[in-house]
Structure formats: C-alpha cells, structure tokens
C-alpha cells in the first residue's frame, strides 16, 4: 500500500515482518560478492616519506638569507619542475611504470603525475611558522616499485632545493656585482666632477667665508699700513731733498766757483721746508704747542733774513750726482736714491695688496652662487656614495649567503623517514568492500520492498478500506475455527497471500 496512504510505524513493521527475506538475501549475498571482488581488483600500494624543512643554522642577524620566497610557493614551483615530462620520463623508463597496459608515454606520464602526492604537514607549527615539512607519496601496483619511485622523487626534491637555493644566491651575487660596477663608475664620475669644481672655485667654496673675511680684514690693515708708510717715506724724501738743496745752496759760500752766491736760494728752500713742517704740526697740534711755536719762530727769522738778503741767483736743485758735489751732498743723493727705491717697492706692495683685496672681495661676492652649485654636486655625490655603500654591504651579505648555501648551512630539506615498503595494499580494502556490499544489499532489498509495496493493492486493514472507499468500517468480525479457504494469489516471488485480510479477521464495510 506504499504510496496510496500515509503509513505508520506499525505498518512499516508489518511490511518488514512480511517481506524480511527480501531484505536479508541481498544483505548477505552482496558482502560476499564484495569480499570476492577484492581478489579480482588490481592491488595498489602507497609508499610515503616525510621531508622536514630545516631552518638556517646561522642566525639571520649574522647572515641574511638570499632566498626569501615563501616556502609554499617554492615548493609548488619545485613540484611543477619535478613533475615535468623531462624529469618523469627517465623515471618511468627506469622503473618501467605502467608498462603492462598499452598506454602511450604521455598517458603514462599523466598517470604517474596522478599517483604522486605532495601533502603539507598539517600541524600547529605549520599554521604559525609556515610550512615545516611535507609528505611525498607514490602509488604503484607493486610495493617495491612504489618505494623506489617515492625515494627517487624525494631525492629530486632535496637536490632541486639545494640547486635552486645555490643558483638563487649565485644569481643574486652576480647581479649585485654588475650593479656595484655601475655604481662605482657613477661614483668616480661624481668624484671627478666634484674635484674639478673644487679646483675651479677654490677659495669660494662653502666654509671659506670666515677665512675670506679674516683675510679681507688683514689685507685692509696691511693696505692702511702700507699707505701710511708710503706717506711717511714720501715725506722723508721731501725732507731729504730740502736738506740736500740746503747743502747745495751752502756749497758756494764755502767754495768759491766764479763768485756766484746761492745762499738766498738755500734759505728759500729751507723756508719752504719749515713752512711745510709748520703746516703739518698745526694740523695735529694747537698753536701753543712748543714745536709749533719753535717752527713758527724759525720761519719768521728766515723770512726776515730773506727779506734783507739780495735777490737770489739761479742754482741747481737736481738730485743727479755732479762731480762738483761735496761729500755730504753725495751722501744725501745716495740716501735719496735709496728712499726712492723703497717708495717704489712700497707702491708695488700697495698695488699687490689692492689686487688681493679685489680677489677676496670677488670671492665673497660670488660665494652664494658657488654654494648653490656646490650643494647640488655634493648631494649627487653623497647619493652615489650611499648607493655604492649599500650595494657593497649587500654584495658582502650575498657572498656570505652563497658560502652558507655552499656549505649547506642554510635552509634545506631533511628526510625524516625513508620511503617505507608497504606491507599491505592501500586498495582494495576488504573491510570497505564488505561493508559496502552489506550497505548495497540493504539498499537493494529496501528498494525491492518499496517497489512491491507500491504495486501491491491488497486491502489488509481498516485504514486500507478508508483509503480506497472513504467509508467508515462498522465492525470487524474475526474468524474462529476452521476457516474457509480464502482465494489466494501469488505475489512477485510466488508467495500466496489473501486478497482481503484484516489481521486474520473478515472486514465488513458499511458503504452503500
């Protein structure tokens, strides 16, 4: 009556009681069949090895690792390289994998890839510090072959890791060397440019302002001193010239050469000298100063003498030596020549000091523009020097890392467990086949029972009558004693069943 009305738990129990053998037969037969199939299926063996990732033995505070790529990414990259055709084909040919089936080499390679398993370790360390290791497994029809191929793949991973890290370190070092050469060339160019600039603008560079100002002050002092000295020397020369003129004027009075008197001329020169000296004294002192009073008195006396003397005759005042000069005049002439030479030298010194003054004034005036250009050149030089030093440090680190990898002191794969030789096949599992057969038998039995119940239209109780007629049942009359044989019909499996039953009781319907 399945599908014709809603069934209760009691109905299900009645059905199972009536048709239990349909459920029992497949549930017994199918596990047996499943167990038998395990002897017919080709067994598969899995060999597995554990590879741990050992961190760098030298602390990174001393030597930084060159290879900083994530281990998961590198492992995926190595896996793709190892599972390439060029790597797998020699292994397939060496161990004659999948040679019994008529497969092409491409199909054998694909099948080999499917049978290789790379599984990361799932642990607390893996979740906190990355990938600490991984399992390598290989599945084959033969236990020994699975072990050998698994070991071969494990060796490929270990060697690939070493070569990959060594190649990365060497490549990094070579790249840094080329960068260092370029940086050195640029730094040399900047140094040459800076040296040329310093040579061109020597004395105008930043930092020389204080020395230039000090030098300028010193030169001004020297110029003032030279000017004053020159003025004194010229004054002395004038005085010496007047003295020599006086001596020349006195010479005719002591030496009579043709009766020509030159005393008035000498007095006139002496007067001029005294007047000049008086003017100089008055410029510095008052009229009551003793030297002023004395000089003024001399000037007055000399003017009085000149006024009383006859008209002076023409006399020579030249400083050129004359054979007729007296010894004192010749000495005065030599002294005048010496003074003229000293004055000429002093003038040259003065001109040199003035030239130096102009030089330092030009340096101070051009310092701002020179400083701006100098800063630009030194900034470029400093940048080039910093880049060069940084590259130098990096290349030293890279060399140490390369040596670290060559000594196998860096991060490397360590085989914890060699590939095992499987003692039992991983497939098929007999327990799985038996349980699966039992479950399949139960499912098939339930399906057959459900199908039979769906096709069965027999009325067996009051609920069936209500489901078909929608009329209430007035009474149920039970059979007692010998019952008349009820017309039986055969079901799907040949079993007989009454057409109308009510738990062994006849049914009476009140429908009209």
Tell me which residue of 507, 511, 412, 428 sits closest to 65, measured CA to CA.
412
**Which of 85-99, 126-140, 149-163 has the lowest average pLDDT?**
126-140
User: Is the CA virtual torsion 467, 468, 470, 473 positive or negative?
Assistant: negative
The pLDDT of residue 238 is above 80? yes
CA 484 to chain CA centroid, Å, is 104
| Alpha carbon separation from 448 to 263, 377, 453 (Å, rounded) | 175, 97, 9
Q: Dihedrals φ, ψ of 120, to 5°?
A: -65, 150
Helix, strand, coil % over all residues of the chain, rounded to 5? 65, 10, 25
pLDDT category at 467 given cuts 50, 70, 90 is confident
Q: Dihedrals φ, ψ of 328, to 5°?
A: -65, -35
The predicted structure's pLDDT at residue 183: 93
For the chain, counts of helices (H) and of strands (E): 13, 8
Angle between helix axes 263-284 and 290-308 (nearest 10 degrees) is 160
pTM of the model: 0.54
Q: In whole angstroms, what is the distance from residue 269 CA to residue 492 CA? A: 175
On whether the CB atoms of residues 297 and 231 are closer than 8 A, the answer is no
Nearby residues of 261 by Cβ (< 8 Å), 6 or more positions away: 252, 253, 313
CA 219 to chain CA centroid, Å, is 55
Burial class (CB in 10 A: 0-12, 13-18, 19+), 349: middle
The predicted structure's pLDDT at residue 498: 47
Q: In whole angstroms, what is the distance from residue 61 CA to residue 396 CA? A: 14
CA 488 to chain CA centroid, Å, is 95
The CATH class for the domain spanning 46-181+407-417 reads: alpha beta
What tokens does 195 get?
């040296």
The predicted structure's pLDDT at residue 41: 85
Task: Give per-residue pLDDT as tens, 29-85.
Answer: 999 999 999 888 888 999 999 988 887 777 777 777 777 777 778 888 888 888 899
On whether the CB atoms of residues 21 and 469 are closer than 8 A, the answer is no
**Which of 176-180, 295-299, 407-411, 476-480 has the lowest average pLDDT?**
476-480
What tokens does 333 get?
């002439």
The predicted structure's pLDDT at residue 500: 47
**Which of 37-51, 298-312, 476-490 has the lowest average pLDDT?**
476-490
Task: Give per-residue pLDDT as tens, 161-184.
Answer: 888 888 888 888 889 999 999 999
pLDDT category at 98 given cuts 50, 70, 90 is confident
491 or 174: which carries more pLDDT confidence?
174
Averaged over 413-441, what is the pLDDT? Answer: 89
Task: Give per-residue pLDDT as tens, 326-384.
Answer: 777 788 888 888 989 999 999 999 999 999 999 998 988 888 888 899 999 999 999 99
Every domain range in the chain assigned CATH 3.30.1890: 46-181+407-417
Tallying the residues shown for the chain, one arrives at: 512
Burial class (CB in 10 A: 0-12, 13-18, 19+), 504: exposed
The pLDDT of residue 273 is above 90? no
The predicted structure's pLDDT at residue 319: 53
Tell me which residue of 313, 412, 317 sits closest to 67, measured CA to CA.
412
pLDDT category at 482 given cuts 50, 70, 90 is low
Task: Give per-residue pLDDT as tens, 434-466.
Answer: 999 999 999 999 999 999 988 887 887 778 888
The DSSP string of 126-153 is HHHHS--EEEEEEEESSHHHHHHHHHHH
The predicted structure's pLDDT at residue 206: 85
The predicted structure's pLDDT at residue 407: 76
Residue 98, sorted as left (phi over 0), alpha (psi -120 to 50) or beta, turns out to be: left
On whether the CB atoms of residues 72 and 120 are closer than 8 A, the answer is yes
| Alpha carbon separation from 469 to 460, 465, 510 (Å, rounded) | 13, 6, 10
What tokens does 229 get?
């000295």
The pLDDT of residue 17 is above 60? yes
65 or 316: which carries more pLDDT confidence?
65
On whether the CB atoms of residues 271 and 306 are closer than 8 A, the answer is yes
When the pLDDT of each residue in the chain is averaged and rounded to a whole number, the result is 81
On whether the CB atoms of residues 46 and 138 are closer than 8 A, the answer is yes
The predicted structure's pLDDT at residue 292: 86
Most confidently modeled range among 109-123, 186-200, 414-428: 186-200
């Amino acid at each position: 009556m399945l599908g014709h009305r809603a069934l209760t738990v009691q109905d299900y129990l009645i059905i199972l009681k009536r048709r239990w053998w349909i459920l029992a037969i497949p549930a017994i037969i199918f596990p047996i069949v499943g167990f038998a199939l395990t002897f017919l299926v080709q067994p598969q063996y899995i060999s597995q090895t554990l590879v741990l990732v050992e961190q760098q033995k030298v602390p990174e505070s001393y030597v930084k690792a060159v290879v900083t790529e994530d281990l998961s990414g590198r492992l995926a990259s190595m896996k793709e390289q190892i599972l390439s055709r060029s790597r797998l084909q020699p292994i397939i040919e060496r161990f004659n994998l999948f040679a019994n089936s008529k497969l092409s080499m491409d199909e054998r390679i694909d099948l080999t890839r499917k049978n290789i398993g790379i599984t990361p370790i799932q642990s607390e360390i893996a979740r906190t510090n990355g990938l600490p290791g991984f399992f390598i497994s290989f599945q084959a029809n033969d236990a020994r072959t699975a072990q050998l191929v698994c070991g071969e793949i494990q060796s490929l991973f270990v060697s690939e890791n070493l070569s990959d890290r060594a190649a990365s370190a060497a490549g990094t070092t070579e790249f840094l060397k080329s960068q260092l050469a370029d940086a050195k060339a640029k730094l040399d160019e900047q140094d040459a440019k800076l040296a040329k600039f310093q040579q061109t603008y020597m004395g105008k560079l930043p930092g020389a302002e204080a020395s230039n100002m000090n030098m300028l002050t010193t030169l001004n002092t020297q110029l003032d001193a030279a000017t004053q000295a020159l003025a004194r020397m010229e004054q002395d020369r004038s005085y010496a010239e007047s003295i020599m003129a006086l001596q020349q004027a006195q010479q005719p009075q002591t030496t009579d050469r043709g009766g020509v008197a030159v005393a008035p001329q000498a007095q006139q020169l002496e007067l001029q000298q005294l007047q000049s000296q008086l003017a100089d004294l008055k410029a510095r002192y008052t009229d009551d100063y003793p030297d002023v009073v004395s000089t003024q008195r001399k000037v007055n006396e000399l003017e009085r003498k000149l006024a009383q003397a006859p008209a002076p005759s023409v006399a020579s005042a030249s400083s050129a030596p004359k054979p007729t000069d007296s010894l004192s005049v010749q000495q005065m002439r030599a002294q005048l020549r010496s003074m003229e030479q000293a004055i000429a030298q002093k003038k040259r010194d003065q001109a040199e000091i003035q030239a130096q003054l102009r030089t330092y004034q030009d340096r101070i005036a051009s310092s701002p523009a020179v400083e701006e250009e100098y800063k630009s050149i030194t900034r470029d030089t400093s940048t080039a020097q910093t880049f060069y030093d940084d590259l130098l440090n990096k290349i030293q680190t890279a060399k140490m890392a390369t040596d670290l990898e060559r000594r196998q002191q860096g991060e490397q794969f360590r085989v914890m467990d060699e590939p095992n030789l499987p003692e039992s096949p991983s497939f098929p599992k007999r327990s799985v086949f038996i349980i699966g057969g039992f479950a399949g038998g139960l499912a098939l039995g339930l399906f057959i029972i459900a199908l039979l119940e769906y096709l069965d239209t027999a009325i067996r109780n009051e609920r069936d009558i209500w489901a078909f007629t929608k009329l209430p049942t007035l009474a149920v009359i039970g059979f007692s004693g010998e019952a008349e044989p009820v017309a039986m019909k055969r079901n799907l499996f040949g079993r007989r069943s009454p057409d109308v039953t009510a738990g062994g009781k006849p049914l009476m319907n009140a429908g009209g």
